[in-house]
Amino acid sequence: MRFFVSALFFLVIFSYAAAFDPLDPNGNITIKWDIMSWTPDGYVAVVTLNNFQMYRHIMSPGWTLGWTWARRVVIWSAVGAQATEQGDCSRFKGNIPHSCKRNPTFVDLLPGVPYNQQFTNCCKGGVLGAWGQDPSAAVSAFQLSVGSAGTSNRTVRLPRNFTLLGPGPGYTCGRARVVPPTIFLTPDRRRKTQALMTWNVTCTYSQILARKYPSCCVSLSSFYNDTVVPCPPCTCGCQTKDNCVKGDSKILSMVGVNTPKKDNKPLLQCTRHMCPVRVHWHVQRNYKDYWRVKVSTTNFNYRMNYTLWTLVIQHPNLNNVIQVFSFDYKPLVPYESINDTGMFYGLKFFNDQLMEAGPFGNVQSEMLLRKDKNTFTLKEGWAFPRKVYFNGDECQLPPPDAYPFLPNSAYQNLLSFSTFISLFIFFLIAVW
């Protein structure tokens, strides 16, 4: 019994820690249901997905939202999204519902659908931006007309077993909870209205649930050492080593090689690390009052374009960023007393899309930082980042003992001084 309780305790702690991101402690996706009106056999509701994650977004092919009805419910119509399956609607002879499944799954509509099928904040192909990058793009919504579902606050039963794919696994959703009704303002902002009933569902992300291996890695180099520290071998797993493509392979000239597969199976360039993405941090210059770093991100997946990509770096000197040259930059301050984390993302219409593997499959920028003379040092790996995230997933850093080390200048100076003394004594003996 004691062993069972201990195992359960550690399982709960582990599960909680897996879904907690210390750099974004409040990050989640909140699904909000607002009942806007009652119908003779149910209600009309607006379902809104709000991405409150600072640097993690949902890429194409977009989100997939599912749930299980608490009773035998039908969806008469949907605007701004659609159910992937209609289900068995054979009991209806006249008006056929949009979906009769007990556990429907919904996806966003694609851009360019007819106007009468659109709804506010819909039709983005399921792409949901990060809150820290663009709050206006971090929301998606659609409308449902639900039947056989109760016609009052007392008779409505909340859906359960919510699931969210974004676009793959990784999100865990909690129970639906009734909250105070949402307040709306009229266009002239002079009158407030409110939903008849509102409930929320909170979904959190866990990288451990999303994939077995990391999805990116970090390599390091510096001006004061010729050593380039690569990503550790098989960082992202070498199970795809037999299916990787060499840079000079003839398969790259085939038509459609860059077309994504339905199962999102990657086509990786052959590397030691076998990661889709590598971030390289290079300490470039050291000035009297400043120092300069170059950051490069390379895509090794021939079937993936990373749109709206984000790069998050934790380093103690990021509280003194003077200029970032080719990326947009925003400091992240999850804790008021600590400012050591920054979010970098592409400039719109310039490098906000990280192309698939090949000559254009990289983005890079330099940044200038001011030295804090009380803390600044190049010794013991201080100049290198503590954590690196790409698109919200933590990248694997090399082990600390492999970092490029700072040459022992004191030893070099001592050697030079000894050489000078020896030459001086030899000169005196020769003259004497």
Bridge pairing between strands 216-222 and 277-286: parallel
Query: What integer pLDDT is reported at residue 254 of this predicted model?
Result: 77
Query: What integer pLDDT is reported at residue 68 of this predicted model?
Result: 97
| 301-324: pLDDT as tens digits | 998 999 999 999 999 999 999 999
> Which pair of structure tokens corresponds to residue 56?
């993690």
Query: What integer pLDDT is reported at residue 395 of this predicted model?
Result: 97
- The CATH 2.60.40.290 domain(s) of the chain lie at 28-209, 211-242+265-402
- Counting as low any pLDDT under 70, the low residues of the chain are 1-19, 240, 262-263, 408-432
Backbone angles phi, psi at 9, to 5 degrees: -60, -50
Residue 162 burial class via C-beta count within 10 angstroms: exposed 0-12, middle 13-18, buried 19 and up: buried
CA angle 330, 273, 59 (to 5 degrees): 45
d(CA 90, CA 69): 19
Query: What integer pLDDT is reported at residue 6 of this predicted model?
Result: 46
Q: How many residues does the chain have?
A: 432
Query: What integer pLDDT is reported at residue 7 of this predicted model?
Result: 45
Q: DSSP character for 130?
A: -
d(CA 142, CA 277): 34
Question: Which amino acid, residue 220?
Answer: L
In angstroms, how far is CA 289 from the centroid of its own chain? 34
d(CA 305, CA 59): 10
The hierarchical CATH code for the domain 28-209 is 2.60.40.290
Query: What integer pLDDT is reported at residue 63 of this predicted model?
Result: 97
| Contacts for 318 with CB less than 8 Å, ≥ 6 apart | 331, 339, 340, 341, 342, 369
Structurally, at CATH architecture level, domain 211-242+265-402 sits in Sandwich (2.60)
| Contacts for 60 with CB less than 8 Å, ≥ 6 apart | 125, 126, 127, 167, 307
